[in-house]
Every structure is written in C-alpha cells, then in structure tokens.
Structure 1
Amino acid sequence: MSNRNSSVGVNLGGLTYYSSEIKFVDVAKESSNWITQRWGNHAWDTHELAKVNMRQDGYPASLPDDMALEKLVLRSLSHPPSGVYTILYDGEGDIEINLLHYQKVYTGKGRMLINVTIGQAGIGIKLRRTNPANPLHNLRVILPGFEARHEHFPFYPLFLESLVRYSEFRYMDFLHTNGHTPEPTTWGSRKHTTYHTQAGTEGGSLEYAILLSNMLGANPWFNMPHAADDNFVMQFAKQVNQTLRPDLRVYVEYSNEVWNGIFRQNHFATEKGHSSGLDSGWKAAFKYYNKRSHEMAQIWRSIYGASDKLVLAWAWQTGYQDYTRQALEDLGTRVNDFTALAITGYFTCDLTSKHISSLPSMTYNEVLSICTNYIQNKTRSSFSYFMGLAKARNLHLLMYEGGQHIVEHAPQHEQITNKLVDINENDIMETLNRNLLDVWNDVVTKHSTSVGGLFNYFSSCGQYSKYGSWGMLEYTGQPYSSAPKYRAVQKFISSQSHNTEVAPRCSFVDLGSVSYGCFLVGNRPYCGSTTDRGQKWTIENGALGPTKTPVEVTA
C-alpha cells in the first residue's frame, strides 16, 4: 500500500497492438482486429471481414477454403520482450507465425513454443483453417516465462511495478472513451474477457479494470460512454459496487472532453442538444452534457446512495475559463448532485505558438526558463481561478489530466518534432514536472480533503512522436534513469509519503475460491495461497523453502 497517502493518479494508456505499454502477459489481449486474406490475392487486407461468420467471442465459426485471417501483436515497438513465446489455443485449426524469423522449439495440439527476437514488424498470427465442428478460439500469445501463471495473474509485472505508487487509475483510454462504439452502447454490447482482443473502439473489459484496481489498491476513475443507455450505466455501477474492493473509492465522469471538437462525443452531444430542443446553437453541447451527466450521476447515486466512496466529477474546457463558467451556470442547482469539478493542468510554455520561430535553436536552459515562468504564473493563475470556482459551488477540485503539452499543431515539421521529442527526453522535464506538481499542491491539494486535490498525470506510458510526447515512460520497463517525467512524479510522491510500512500485515487478491498474497509470520515475509481468506496459508516459497504445509497466521 505504498500509494496510501498519494495525491497522484495516472491515466493509463490505451489497448492497441502498437502500444508501448505492455499490460498483459498474454499479448493477444492487445492484438489488432482480424484482417482477411485470400490465397492467390497479394493484398494485405481484402476487407471482407463482414463476410465471415463470427462467433460472439470474435473468432470465426468457419472460414472459406481460400480465406485466412490475420492479426498483429507487438507492432512498431522499440523494446519488445524477446525469448520463448508460448502460443496456446482451444479448438481445432491451423496457426501460422508471420513477419519475423523464429525457431520452433515445440509444437503440439493447441500449444506451440517459438524462440523469437521481435523487430518493428511485430508478430503476425495467421489463422489458416478452423474446424467448423470445433472452431479454434481462446488464442493466447504469452510472453516468455508466464505460461504457468497467465490465467491467475494476467498483468505484466513490469506494468504493475510502474503503477504501484498511484492512488488512482483513470481508465479513459483503457475503456476507449473517445469515439466509443457502438451507438447506442448497451450492456449487451460490452467487451467480455473472453473476446479475441481487448483492443478496439468498444474498450477493454470492465472486469480487467476492476481486477487491476483491486490488485494494486488504486481507486478507479471510470468514464461512461457518451452513447451509453440508462441500463448500461446502471449495470456498470452495480458491477463496480459488487466487485470493487470495499476500501476503494470510485470516480465517475460522463465521457471525456465533450467540449472537444476532435472527438465524436462532442458531435454527438451537439446533435442531441439540437434534436432535443435544448439549444439551437453552439451551447447545445454543454447543455446536453449537463443533462446527460446529471442523469448519469443520479443512476450511480441510486446504487451507492450518499456514500463517500462515490465521487462524481463534472468537467468542461479548462483553457477557456468563461466557457466553463457559462456551462456551470447552465448546470444550476443540478451541481448539488456532483462531488467535484475536474480540470486539466498542462503546461505548453507557448513554445509552438509564441516561440515557434526561435524554438529550433533554443537551448535547454532557455526552455527551462520560459516554462518555469509559464508554470509559476499562467498555470498557477488557472489553478487558483478554478479552485475559487469549485469552492463557490461547494465542489472539490480534481485534475483529470495534467502534465506537459509541448506538441506542435498541424502541419508538423520534422525539425520541430525532433526538437520537441528531444526536450521531452531531457532532464529539464524532471524539474518542470516537479514544478507543476508543487504548484498544484500549493494551490489545491494542501487546501483539500482526501477527496479533492487529486493530480491525474497524462499519461502512464507512450512512444514519443509528432502526435505528442505524453508518456511518463516511453515503454514498459524503461530504466528510471532515462525517464525524467517519471522521476519527477515518483520523487513528488515520496515527498508526500508519511508511511512507515509499505504493506499491511496481510494482503491478498481474491481469484475465485483461492486468494494469493504476501503475509507476515512474526517479522518474516512469505508468499502463498489461502482458501479461507487468510486464516490459514499454504506457503509457496519463502524462508522455509517450498512447502505445502498450512501455516496459521494471526489477523
């Protein structure tokens, strides 16, 4: 529980076949959708997926004799794990490995071991044949060393290690909030853990999000899909209430940045605002946002009641303060059903606007000076304004996204892109991000209760490119020494921490009828399993050596 007193949360990266944040030991969970290929046709994708008879789990019930399906994993990554991968599947069919050289170590019914060094192309998994009487399904591509434990412990340990100190995870990208499909979104259309991939516009499975929060003791922040119907919101809230650890708090927000014209949810809200007669002009979007977010809040409150375990966040556009003020005025007395106002906390330093002409020749010290001044003045002023706005309406103030926003707007120029990436990888980013955190703490966190003052960094991990350098880490497992943003955040968390112990006396995660965890006997730590919620433990490995002798432990 080293995240116990942390006021820092994090936005997790999305689930894609090219994400540098490897979340699962079964990387098929982050694979692409199937593409169709025909024998004798040299097209990479014949775009015939609509013709394939698919099962509910996303695997083909049958295939034409001259058609194959292919999916990609670990594409375009700079540091993918290499070694012996295990490929498992149920049912009957033929699998082919593409796009890389490999040594086949073993092949048998439903199981293949391949020794690979993965390049930029990643791994192509081609399904050449499936038996209609027993279709191939439940395909797993397991990282080296995790075959024996992937079902009980699905998350990649290096991913978990990078997250252990955050008190909250925002699952906005994990659940693919931006442009979420389908419309309408029903409970029956949600993604299940058994689906062939967790990637895609439907978002990942709620079950995996809850499991991750339960394992690491981090409060979840959920964004309801913009087109979710009432039953979806109700069933979602019920499942969270029933399966989330009871000591955790849940944050809830309607969609994400509904004000932002680059996202489908903005156009959806505008259309709904017009068609329902809320407004015929530009105010339609925030009037519909207020209506639907308030309806969402009432549904969640019907499940949680007045519990302080539920935090309902309202958010609009931080960059245009009067726009947010007008939206809040329209909300009126409905504001009483919300817990918090959520804003962004980015620093741009005006590098790609006011300073674009001098940027290519700018030194790191010049960037440091410009950005320090920006954070201490412009950013501090923004935080102060919204702190006042929140207090006036009896709301807590939260940050749903924050960090650096040093990115060039279209059109991009290679020289500028390279300069911005270089700046983001330089040690000055440790100083600047720490300055940002300190200003937020000074203006907001120090004056808030445990509910308010949360700083949500954007984002946990991501490769740097012309589209931005958002990740604290550039890839899962990146050394601490080469990750200045990550260093800044970890040192800030350490400065806040007053814990003298890093774990409770007995902690575990429930996985069905068996729980796993670490516990103390006297002052000696052990790891093991328990079937009676920690009254007796079977030691798996410890100072006594491997044993299956139950050990009594005190509560």
Structure 2
Amino acid sequence: MQLPLPSALAYYNANSPLGTNTNEVLEYDSSAPFLDLFKTSLPFREAIPYLTKGQVQYDRFGWPTSIAPGGQVGTRLINKLPANTIPRGYYTVLYEGQGKIEYGLDASLVEAQPGRDIIKIDPGIDNEYSVKLEIKATNPNNYIRNIHVIPQGGICASNPFQRVNGASQCARGDFLDFERHHEKIIFNPDYLKFMKDYKVVRFMNMSGITRNPIQRWSDRTLVEQATWGGAEGVRGAPLEVMVELANRLHADAWFTIPHAADNDFVRRYAEYIRTNLDPDLKVYLEYSNETWNGIFSQHAYMKQGGKQLGLDPVDYVAGYKYYSLRSVEIFNIFEQVFGGKQRLVRLMAGLNGNPGMTATMLSFRDAYKQTDAFAVAPYVFGDINELRRASSVNDIFRAMQNKTAHHSLPKVLEAVRKQADVTRQFGVDLIAYEGGQHLIDDKTKSDDQHPNKLFYAANRHPEMAKIYKQLLDGWRQAGGKMFVHFSSPRTYNRFGSKGTKEYITQADKEAPKHLALTRFIGDNPCWWPSCSSSTVARVQKPRALSTAELSRLTGDVPKPLPNSQEEKDGTDIVGNIPQLDPINDSLTKPPLPATANPPLVNTDPQTIPMLAPLRSQAILVSQNNPPQEKYVFGNKALVAQARDRMNPLKDASAYQLRKVITGRVEDSRDLAAVWQASWDSQRLYLRIAVADDQMKLDSSKMWDDDSLEIFLDADASQLPQYDGRNDLHLFYRWQDRQLSFGKNSAPAKVNFRSQYLEGRYILDLAIAWDSLRISPRPGHRIGLDLQVNDDDDGGLRDGKLAWFSRADDVWHDPSLMGEAVLE
C-alpha cells in the first residue's frame, strides 16, 4: 500500500492544534474517502428485499457465489450524495468472473467487455447521486467478484492531494492513473486534500466500533472484503487502511478499541500499529467510545462488567470504574508491545459537564498514574425548548449564547474550565475527542420539520464561524490542548449538521465552520510541549488526592478512594486480611534444566493458614451435583478477595474438573477433583482437592503417577510459549513432601501444605505476587488450568482430567489455559 510523500507535503500539519473525526463507512458519506466507490457500498446481504432477492450463497468476503433462478443480488453503490461530491462522468468497473451486471438510477452502461465495463454517472435533475449495481446472473464455477468502481484520471505520485487528467500534468513524470493503480492509491485525492490540515485523525467512526460486539482478531474487517460499509456493528475500514491514511497525511493516529475486544485482539492490534505506523507519529489510545452514554450497547457492557466484579454498588458508577480498569489493562498491553510509552497518548474520555465522572475514572485504583489525557466533547447548542421556539436564524444564535441555558457556549466553556481544574489536579492533559455545534432536535421525524431548516441555515451562516472562534479561543484559555472536531464533511439532515462541510469538494467560502477551523490553525500553532514531536511530554504525577480534595473538585459526597488509608481506617475488613511472614527466597528460585526442575521443599508451611480437618469439609462433588461455579463474561472464573486471615478460601467458589484430555477416566468414583482460589495484596491462594479410588506412586515420571499439575499465566499474556517471567508449571504427587517446577516454568515464591485421608488428598498453595512481577487489583486477569493425572494399576498413566484445556498441550503452550478474573 505504501505511497511515499515528499516531506514538504507530509509535514504540512506539523504545528496544527486541531484534529478531525472520520465518518462512518457508508454509501451516503459525502466525505467520499476512498477512490474505489465499491468500498463504501451497501453489502449485498443488507440489500434485501429490494435489490437482493431469492436464494443466494456467499463466500467469506461477501461475494455471491450462486444465485437461484429468479433471484438477483444488488447494492446501492452511492446514495443521495450532493452533486460535485465526486466527479460526474465516466467510471470504469473492473471485476473478475462471469455473469451479468446491470446498472441503474444515475448510472448507465456505456461499454461492456469481459471483466471491464464503462459506465456514466450523472446526478440528474435532483442534483444528487444515487447509483445501484445488480448482479443478475453469475457462474458458480467462476462467480463475479472483486468489483471495483474507479473514476477516470489519476494523480502525480509526488502530489496525491490533486486529481489530474493525464500524464502531461505531472512535471516529474510520475503519473499514476486511477484504473491501473487504484489498489495503491486507495484514497480519494479530494479527501486527502481536506484532511491534510489536521494534526490528529480520530478513526472511531471509520473503524466502526460503536455498538460493535467484535471480540476476536479473526473477526476483524479484512482488506479483501467486498465492501467495508454496511450496518452499525458490521461496517468498518480495516486497520491496515487507517494506518496507511495516517501515514499519508503524516497525522497522529487516534485508535478506539472495541468494547468487547479480548487481550489477543488488543495485542495484535498494537503489534500491527507498532510495525506499520510511521515511527514519527504518536498513537492516541482510547477504549471504546462514550461508554457513559446510555444510548450505546457499550454502556450496558461497562455496567455489567462493573457489577460482576463488584466494583461499586451503584451500577453506572461500577460502569465508570470498569471502563477505567479495562482502559489501564489496554494501556499496559500497548506499552508491552511498543516497548515503552514514548509514543502513546493513553487517554480516557467522559462527559464534559460531569467532572465527578472524570475524578471517578482517574482516581479508581490510581488509574491517573497510567493515563496521559482525559478527553471531553465540548458541544454547543443551548436549551432545546428555546431552540424549538426559534423563528429565525438570529433566534438560534441567541439561544446558543444564552448565559443561563445548559449547553450554551458560556455554559460549555464554564464546564471546560471545571474539567481543566480536575485534570490539572491529576496531572493529565485535557483534550477534546469531539466538539463543535450540536444543533439537533431528536423529536423531529423529517428533514424538513421545524426547527431543522433553521439549524441548516445557521450552520451555513457566517455567524457560526464566530461561535467556533469563541469556542476554540475559550478552550485554549481554559487550558485545553488538542481539539478534535466532529466531523469530516457530511450532509445536513434531521440527525444533525455535524460536517465541517456538507460535501468534500464544497467551496471554503460556503463553509463557515471550515473557515473558522482553518483560520484557528493558522493563527494558533500548537501551544503545548511535544505537539509536533513524535514523543509525548509528561509531567511528574501528583500525589493521590484526599477525599476532601476530590469532593471540593466535583461537589460529590466525600467517599474514600479505593485502597487509600482513608478507606482502610473506615472498615474492619482490612484487619482480617492475612498478614503472612516473608518466604525464604532461597527455596523459590530453582534452576531451569532440560528435564523437570528439582523439587521445591516447603520448610515454612505455617505461611499457609490452618485448614479444617478433611472429614468436616464437603469439598468434593459428583458430576451429577456440580458446585456453584461463578463465571464472568461467559468463561472466566471469578477469584474472590480473601477476607478471613485464618481461612482465605472462605466463601470462595468451587470449580470442578470435568474434561478428560488423555486416556480414560471411568466416572466420578474413579476420579473427581475441584479447585478454589482467592487472593490478597501479597499472594494468590489455590486449593485443589482430589478423590481417587486407586492411588499409585511407583514411576520415575510424575505424570505417570497420581499427581497434580498447576498451570499459571500471571499476566494472561496468552503467548504460545512459556515467557520465562511469570508463566508457571507446578507438579505435586500425592503423599509427596515437595513441589517441582516443570522444565518450561519460570521460578516463583510458593509455599504449600498437603493433607491425605481415605482416598482424598488436598493441596493448598500460596504464590507470592511479587515473584510473579504482578501488582494485583480487581479486574486483573490470569491464565489458569488445573489438571489431575490418574494411575489405577501402576506403571503408565491411565487418564487425565482438566478444568479448562481440551488437550494435553498446556505444558508447552500456555495460550491454551483458561482465564480467571480477580474480583
């Protein structure tokens, strides 16, 4: 994809203090970002029942492989785009395969050859572009696919911001025609020309993450997909394309991570950016979008996560805290991948008018110490009832300036100043993830309904430029830094007039908001350290604020910060957390030979709290009477915080081992096992209890006798090989007086106690967090699996039970472990 730019063009935006948001990938996006019109088209599947009809089969990229008799597939290639958004005239349609394609609405066929059609696109009397493409028939053995719709002309490689008609216009002889080079050019030159003024590009909309349930890397949008457009939760441009756009513009890239993305997704996302983004560019890193906003599904996801982890009794506050917790986890993954934080702007985002939300997110578990910026959205409109009563454009502007109305310009800037006070106390920058005017009446049902026409007129009026100038000047004066406007050109309708222009090629003189933004860029080169640098300037973090200080900032009822001394002084729980003696380090750092490590002798069993006699504990269950297992997000076990110093596993959930991963286990009378876990600030506690009808201890290899294997990935890194840092593999045979580390295991501080009685044995472990290089906190994830080897007749192993894994491969591949979450 690489298309190098000359330095004079690449650094055009080096000192710009403004960024811009991208738009959703849709067939009616008037920013027209891509050269190939098909990439924003409606997916064939979504065109039912008007353009797609009958029985249709598709390949994995969305191309129809077969169409039943009487059926067809179709798409809206573009829809209701203002005239001049794209050039009127001739377009080349390239495709592979055999079949029949027809065109309609504002497109007509001019010339047809196998694999290449010429169509004419003209907006017609309504002065809007709408084009449909229909596949009437396709050959299942060579189906129509890889359709591209490309304009005539090209660019000079040395200036990708300008369309040219032919090679004669390229003085350097570097003409690239669109038809032959569209896969390299990728972007509409008019789009690049508009975007080049901005220092930051926020890809939230282009990536399609809002209400997007994506979890796994394998489900991401691919470059090869037929279209990147479609419905919410499905659409989105590939990461490869967004990174390339940032490189072409030499603009810092703002990426928004989907709310349900797992750690593997986040890590691979980070790895691609690290490898492919220009190293001179910064990465703005945000977890999801407006998780505080109840209209989005990610808001419910945050509340659910916070409630399941017990982060706060108030559900929406629990949601704020879960957002904070997961944000820091994502920051940490990116830092690991990037080998540091020099290029990372780690940010959280909240509501401009709610400084209490800001304080909650930044203070939870001291998240501010790992956060560089807090982002808000200073949107200006005014009281909606006053706006509805407006009878002129002047009335609209009076409402926007009304000092007593919520969301008016004076009130918005007052809220910005309060936010700046809060962020300053936490030592983080205040930035804007979105902002601008927000004239919308969500009660209207049509574009023409009052007051929508007045809203459009106000956005086209020179007075709007003055509103923008006052907003941006006030933002700077309050202490705000990077301001990312919302949004790229888009048409005005009842859902808002958000675009800085109404379409990508609109004349500047017709777009007062665009003029205000570009003038501000010219008059206000960025005023904060590191704006034009590839590294982030950071200040030393302040001490944690006291409850009284936080309450003065936010106006909230004082509430102790989690883990603060104030909280400890006000609760009797802290006195019940085990305070165990230090473990002898000489016992916990065995060498790592090619075979199993030497045994770990436990000389300090008193570091394990006393256990009740086995006879009094109903610790084992049958498969017909399973324990009350507690999971979060479907398949992650919950590990409770220890509350009783004499019994840290009190009230801990029990989990049964059910999977036979090798050999044979007859039934629960042959072999049954459960495990429990808890944690405190010093240790992870594990208990594994086994019932076995036949016990053998006669082999040279531990796994051929009745024994336990404990697997732990302390940072849930999910790597395919043991990392030598905190991935553990422990062995214990019944009646042994020692533990052993597996040959792939890292060392760790581990104390243990075992008991044996009447065909049952139980092992308790206390694993020191500091030896795992982990500072535990609620929400922290660990990889975990527990396995039991069974030998009923001596000699080789007869069978093996596991809690999570489905194959006996965890000993060399820790990515196969299950997961547990500290609560």
Q: Does 1:278 align with 2:311?
A: yes
1:419 corresponds to which residue? 454
Q: Counterpart of 1:471?
A: 499
Distance in 1 separating the partners of 2:244 and 2:47 = 36
Aligned pair partner of 1:178 in 210, 216, 219: 210
> Would the aligned equivalents of 2:122 and 2:129 in 1 still touch at CA under 8 Å?
no
Question: Contact 1:34–1:70 (CA<8 Å) still a contact in 2?
Answer: yes
Give the corresponding residue for 2:488.
460
Q: Is the 8 A contact 2:303 2:322 kept in 1?
A: yes
CA distance in 1, matches of 2:51, 2:150: 26
| Unpaired runs of at least 5, structure 1 | 446-452, 499-555
TM-score (ref. length: structure 1): 0.81
Counterpart amino acid of residue 151 in structure 1 = E
**What SS does the corresponding residue of 1:58 show, helix, strand or coil?**
coil
Task: Give runs of aligned pairs for residues 447-526 of structure 1, distance below 5 A.
Answer: 453-497=481-525
Which residue of structure 1 lines up, in the alignment, with residue 15 of structure 2? 5
Deviates further, 412-421 or 367-376: 367-376
Amino acid at match of 1:128: K
For 1:38-49, list aligned pairs within 5 A: 44=50
2:351 counterpart letter in structure 1: Q
Partner Cα distance (1:434, 1:261) in 2 = 31
Query: Counterparts of 1:149-228 in structure 2 under 5 Å?
Result: 149-182=181-214, 185-200=215-230, 201-202=233-234, 203-228=236-261
- 2:66 match: 62
Q: Deviations over 1:414-460 (max 9, x none)?
A: 12111111111111111111111111122225xxxxxxx10000001
Matched to 2:119, the amino acid is I
- d(CA) in 1 for partners of 2:36, 2:209: 23
1:106 and 2:111 aligned? yes
Percent identity reads 30
Whether the 8 Å contact between 1:252 and 1:313 is mirrored in structure 2 is yes
Counterpart of 1:313 in structure 2 is 347
* 2:116 is equivalent to residue 116 of structure 1: no
Question: 1:321-470 maps to which residues of 2 (within 5 A)?
Answer: 321-329=355-363, 331-350=364-383, 352-353=384-385, 355-356=386-387, 358-361=389-392, 363=394, 367=398, 370=401, 377-411=410-444, 414-445=449-480, 453-470=481-498
Candidates 314, 317, 331, aligned match of 1:297: 331
Work out whether residues 368 and 432 of structure 1, in 8 Å CA contact, stay in contact via their aligned partners in 2.
no
Shift of 1:52: 3.6
CA contact (8 A) 2:198 2:251 kept: yes
Residue 26 (structure 2) aligns with = 16
Q: 2:81 maps to which residue? A: 77
Would you tell me which structure has more helix in proportion to its own residues? 1
**Cα pair 2:396 2:458 within 8 Å, conserved:** no
Instruction: Give the deviation of 1:37 after TM superposition.
Output: 8.3
User: Aligned residue for 2:101?
Assistant: 95
Q: Is the partner of 1:429 in helix, strand or coil?
A: helix
Aligned AA for 1:61?
T
CA contact 1:37–1:68 (8 Å) conserved in 2: no
Which letter maps to 1:356?
L
Which range is displaced more, 245-254 or 408-417? 408-417
Deviations 1:276-334 (A, max 9, x none): 433453323212212221211111111123332111111122222323333333x2312
Please list, as runs of the form range in 1=range in 2, the aligned pairs for 1:249-264 lying within 5 A after superposition: 249-264=282-297
Unaligned 5+ residue runs, structure 2? 1-10, 154-177, 527-823
Moved more, 308-317 or 58-67: 58-67
Instruction: Provide, for residues 37-81 of structure 1, a one-character-per-residue CA deviation record: whole Å limited to 9, x for no partner.
Output: 89xxxx516776xx6432122112222232211111220112243
Quick one: distance in 2 between partners of 1:66 and 1:392? 68
Whole-angstrom distance in 1 between the partners of 2:33 and 2:425: 41
Shift of 1:129: 2.1
Question: Per-residue deviation at 1:371?
Answer: 6.1
What is the SS of the residue equivalent to 1:72? strand
Give the partner amino acid of 1:312. R
**Secondary structure at 2:92 match in 1:** strand
Distance 1:160 1:25 in 2: 11
For residues 80-136 of structure 1, give each alpha carbon's deviation from its aligned partner in whole angstroms, at most 9, with x where no partner exists. 43100110111222211122352x332111000012213546111111222222222
Give the 3 Å change call, closer, same or farther, for CA 164–357 of structure 1 in structure 2.
closer
Note closer, same or farther for the CA distance 1:368–1:287 as it changes in structure 2 (3 Å cut).
Answer: closer
Structure 1 residue aligned with 2:629:
none
Instruction: Please say if residues 347 and 371 of structure 2, whose CA atoms lie closer than 8 Å, have aligned partners that are also in contact.
Output: yes
Corresponding position: 1:34 with 2:62: no
Provide the C-alpha distance between the structure 1 equivalents of 2:512 and 2:94, rounded to a whole number of angstroms.
39
Alignment root-mean-square deviation, CA: 2.3
Q: Which has the higher contact order (CA 8 A, sep 6+)?
A: 1
Could you tell me how far apart the structure 1 residues matched to 2:80 and 2:288 are?
Answer: 29
User: Which residue identity lines up with residue 122 of structure 2 in the other structure?
Assistant: T
In 1, the alpha carbon distance for the partners of 2:464 and 2:145 equals: 45
Query: In structure 2, what is the equivalent of residue 248 of structure 1?
Result: 281
Work out whether 1:25 is the aligned partner of 2:35: yes
Superposed displacement of residue 168, structure 1:
0.6
Which residue matches 2:680? none
Distance (Å, rounded) in 1 between the aligned partners of 2:372 and 2:388:
44
Q: Quick one: structure 1 residues 199 and 304, their matched pair in 2 at CA, closer, same or farther if it must change by over 3 Å?
A: same
Given that 1:63 and 1:130 are in contact with CA atoms closer than 8 Å, whether structure 2 keeps it comes out as: yes
Q: Structure 2 CA distance, aligned partners of 1:301 and 1:372?
A: 44
Distance 1:304 1:174, change over 3 A: same
SS in 2 for 1:115: strand
SS in 2 for 1:74: strand
Question: Which amino acid counterpart does residue 90 of structure 1 have in structure 2?
Answer: E
Amino acid at match of 1:131: N
Q: Does the 8 Å contact 1:2/1:165 carry over to 2?
A: yes
Q: Which moved more, 1:296-305 or 1:258-267?
A: 296-305
Find the structure with the greater CA-based Rg: 2
Q: Write the letter of the residue equivalent to 2:414.
A: S
2:35–2:186 CA contact under 8 A, matched in 1: yes
Distance (Å, rounded) in 1 between the aligned partners of 2:368 and 2:47: 53
Q: d(CA) in 2 for partners of 1:32 and 1:143?
A: 19
Q: Which moved more, 1:372-381 or 1:163-172?
A: 372-381
Contact 1:95–1:126 (8 Å) recurs in 2? yes
- Residue 297 of structure 1 contacts residue 312 of structure 1 at CA under 8 Å; is this kept in 2? yes
Residue of structure 2 equivalent to 1:143: 151
Contact 2:323–2:361 under 8 Å retained in 1: no
